[in-house]
Structures are given as structure tokens and as C-alpha cells.
């Protein structure tokens, strides 16, 4: 059973230019994902899929292999699945750990827990428990609750939010469904403190203060 990881990191980023190379805690953001993958005793190969020379150089410096991503699947509207399928066409593996480079709190234990769950599931992803809070649409209409009978938080069912840290699936499932998760899906539950993703300048400032 060959397990490999892919970290998708294109050069284009609108809100934070070269976001994947932004310094977080004194290191490039992408280095956290690479190090977590390399620290896993279950992942045989760590790959970075990119279209950018600086990202490729950084990836190699931190110990990853590089797969050059074609320009046509490196656009703002290109889905991650396109990169995963491109990877599957060019690299041999049985199980794929798709890591997004925007979660600096990632660690090998979370990855290994997810891989272990693949004996029971077809796909696995990270999730964080969310406490219920009253939500409204843009017209200030309550979503899923009645303003005349506001429920107590502890009476509402638990919900979980996709943390976006990583996704694990088999090559067979990926090629069949063209999705990052499918079939019987399991969750690696992570604490809120480790669930932060860097998608904006505010996120970057916050995480730098936390680390």
C-alpha cells in the first residue's frame, strides 16, 4: 500500500500575494504542511504541485518533491480536484493525502490518525466541532430557527465544519468520482485552536500572534 501526499500551492493569490510563501512564525507557510507530511511515518513520498519557481525551490529546500502543474489548471477558477487528477495521472500511489498549505497548525499525528481511519472509510477529512449560534440571511431572516422561540445552544445538535487541513482518499475513488472525498466518509476531529486557516491578511496577522 503506497501512501503519498500532495500539497497544492499555485503561485497566484489575490488577497495575499504569494500567500504560500508568507512567513508564519518565522517560516514559509508551506513549510508547515511539508514538515507534517515528512514527519508522518506512514507517508512514503511528499509532493508539492505548483506552477511557480519560487514555491518549487522552497518545496525542494524543505524536502518535498515537485510536480509542475500545467498553466491551464492553475487559474483562479481552477478546482483543486483538477490538480489531484493531474497528480494521479503522473504519480504512482494507492492512498493520497491531499494537504492544503493554509493550515500551519497541521501535524503528523492528525495525518496518521486519518490514514488509520482509511481501514473503515473510503475518504477522510479534518473537521472542527462548531457551537450553535443564531444565524441570519442578508435580509435578517433567521436560518434554521424561529426568532419567537430561540433555542438554547446545548439543545441544538452538534455540527462539524470542514477544517480544510487535509483530505485522504484512494486513487481508485479519486479517478472514479473526481472528488476529494466520496463513499463512506470519516472525520478526523481537531480542536478549534488547530483549525485556523490562512486565507486573508487578517488570518495571517492572527496566526502570527498565536504562534
Q: Which residues are catalytic?
A: 150
CA distances from 60 to 66, 68, 122 (A): 7, 12, 31
Euclidean distance between CA atoms 141 and 183, whole angstroms: 35
| Residue 169 CA, distance from chain mean position | 13
Euclidean distance between CA atoms 14 and 122, whole angstroms: 34
Euclidean distance between CA atoms 165 and 152, whole angstroms: 30
Euclidean distance between CA atoms 182 and 35, whole angstroms: 27
What is the Rg, in whole angstroms, of the alpha carbon atoms belonging to the chain? 18
Q: Is 141 helix (H, G, I), strand (E, B) or coil?
A: coil
Q: Is 135 helix (H, G, I), strand (E, B) or coil?
A: coil
DSSP E strands in 58-117: the ranges are 65-68, 95-99
Amino acid at each position: 500500500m503506497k501512501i503519498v501526499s500532495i500539497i497544492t500551492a499555485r503561485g497566484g493569490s489575490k488577497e495575499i500575494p504569494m500567500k504560500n510563501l508568507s512567513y508564519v512564525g518565522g517560516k514559509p507557510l508551506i513549510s508547515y504542511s511539508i514538515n507534517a507530511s515528512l514527519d508522518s511515518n506512514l507517508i512514503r513520498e511528499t509532493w508539492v504541485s505548483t506552477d511557480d519557481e519560487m514555491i518549487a525551490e522552497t518545496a525542494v529546500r524543505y524536502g518535498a518533491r515537485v510536480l509542475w502543474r500545467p498553466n491551464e489548471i492553475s487559474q483562479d477558477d481552477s478546482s483543486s480536484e483538477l490538480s489531484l487528477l493531474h497528480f494521479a495521472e503522473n504519480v504512482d500511489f494507492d492512498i493520497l493525502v491531499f494537504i492544503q498549505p493554509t493550515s500551519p497548525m497541521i501535524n503528523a499525528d492528525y495525518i496518521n490518525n486519518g490514514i488509520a481511519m482509511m481501514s473503515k472509510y473510503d475518504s477522510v477529512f479534518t473537521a472542527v466541532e462548531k457551537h450553535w449560534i443564531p444565524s441570519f440571511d442578508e435580509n435578517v431572516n433567521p436560518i434554521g430557527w424561529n426568532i419567537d422561540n430561540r433555542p438554547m445552544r446545548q439543545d441544538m445538535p452538534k455540527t462539524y465544519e470542514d477544517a480544510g487541513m487535509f483530505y485522504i482518499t484512494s486513487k481508485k475513488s479519486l479517478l472514479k468520482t473526481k472528488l476529494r472525498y466520496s463513499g463512506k466518509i470519516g472525520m478526523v476531529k481537531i480542536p478549534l485552536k488547530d483549525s485556523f486557516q490562512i486565507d486573508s491578511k487578517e488570518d495571517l496577522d492572527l496566526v502570527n500572534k498565536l504562534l
